[in-house]
Structures are given as C-alpha cells and as structure tokens.
Amino acid sequence: MADDPAYSDDMPATGTFDATFRARFAELVRLRRDVRRFRPDPVPEEILREALNLAHLAPSVGFSQPWRFVRVEDVARRERVAASFRRANAAALAATAPQDRALYARLKLEGIREAPVQMAVFCDETTQTGRRLGARTMPETRAFSTVCAIHTLWLALRAHGVGMGWVSILEPQVVARVCDAPEGWRFIAWLCIGWPEEPHAQTPELERLGWERRLKLDDLVHKL
C-alpha cells in the first residue's frame, strides 16, 4: 500500500486546485450515473483497490471508519441476493400507484446478474474505533460516514470509466445473512460494479424515461 499514490502520507501536495480541475471535477459529478447495464469483462483489481483506498479516506464521525466491505463472488450467494431483489421488487411494483405500474415494470433497476463485481457494504454499529465521539446524540452518523465512503468509491470508479449501481430494493436482513454479517453490522448498500454497456449519460435514467424530473435548486435552499 505504501506505493499507492492515493495513500502515501509524504506525497507532495500543492493543496490548491485550479479552475480547470474544478471544471473536470464538476464533469465527474455530472457524469456519474447509477449503472444497471454492465459488460461481463472483469474490472482490474488495481482499479478496485485504488478506489477502495480512496473510499477509506472518506470522512467518518469521530474517525470511526465504520465501513465494512464484503465482496461476494460465490454464485449461490449472489443468486440469493437476486432472489431477494425479485421479491422486494414485486412487492414494490404492487405498491406502486396503478397509473405508474406499466412504466415501473419497464425500468431496469439493478445489474446483480451481469456486473462482474458485487459488493455489500455494512456499517459496524458496534465499533469502538473513535470511541463513539460525535455519535452520542446522532448514532446514525456512523451509517452516514459509510455512505460518504460509498460515494467516494462511486466517483473514484467513475474516474476510471467504471460504472457502479446502488441497489436498495432488497431485504436488508436477507442480505446480512447471505454475507455472514456479524451481529451489529448494519446493511447499507449492495453495489454492482463493472464496465457500463453504454457511455454515462448526462441525465439520470429515471429522468430520461420520464419517471421524475430534476427539481429546481432554488426551491430547496432556504434562508433564515
């Protein structure tokens, strides 16, 4: 790990970023998509490693670093997760308003079968790392820290052209059992990772397919 540039503590760093970098960073954010269609070819381990190294530098409450990653390669376990998706998605379809059901049924919402890399992310709610600092009135900040790591991973993979999809239409308890998660690990996300079938678009698929539109930022920012 010492020779990983993302990780070297004595790497020279200017600490400043110019407008050119910021424009490219904005493009990275703008061209990150939730990917559901993957090519089957493998993702190099070096890319995964580099992205996980960066994810591990995410902010965490009290420096608790509560993220736990479980890569699932076992086919039978993957199939149990796929089955959990099918159950949860059938229930979601049934609970969707009648006028929305036809569109919902056409949406592709996961790539559990296709993506070469499948990874569950948990939050260790029992961790003593960081000695609970900052998490007494808001213990949910441990899960939030884990989300920051996932989001870092997403951007880091995208910078390599690798796509990621976050599947939430799952039964958390089932996934925890599939992953042999210890008591006290909270299931946060199931991630599908691989090369996307098509280039990352500029707008979310749910926007392109007419499911929802982007809100106006001005409607979401208030002043007191």
- Binders of a second copy in range 195-214 (CB under 8 A): 199-200, 202-204, 206-207, 211-212, 214
Q: How far is the CB of 162 from a second copy (least distance, A)?
A: 11
Residue choice 40, 105, 126, 129 for contact with a second copy (CB under 8 A): 129
Whole-Å CA distances, 205 to 97, 98, 210:
20, 21, 8
Indicate the DSSP class of residue 34.
B
Our finding on whether 98 is near a second copy (CB under 8 A) is no
Q: Is 15 in the site for a second copy (CB under 8 A)?
A: yes
Short-list 98, 112, 91, 111, CA closest to 36: 111
Closer of 40 and 59 to a second copy (Cβ): 59
CB-nearer residue toward a second copy: 114 or 134: 134
Measured from the CB atom, the residue of 107 and 114 that comes closer to a second copy is 107
# binding residues, a second copy (CB under 8 A): 107
Choose among 164, 66, 68: nearest CA to 116: 164
Q: Which is nearer to a second copy, 114 or 177 (CB)?
A: 177
Helix axes 141-158 and 45-55, enclosed angle (nearest 10)? 140
Rounded Cα distance between 16 and 140, Å, is 32
Nearest to 6 by CA among 49, 60, 64, 45: 49
DSSP-derived 3-state class of residue 176 = helix
- The nearer residue to a second copy, 41 or 45, going by C-beta atoms, is 45
152 binds a second copy (CB under 8 A): yes
Q: Which of residues 47-86 bind a second copy (CB under 8 A)?
A: 50, 52-54, 56-59, 61-65, 67-74, 77
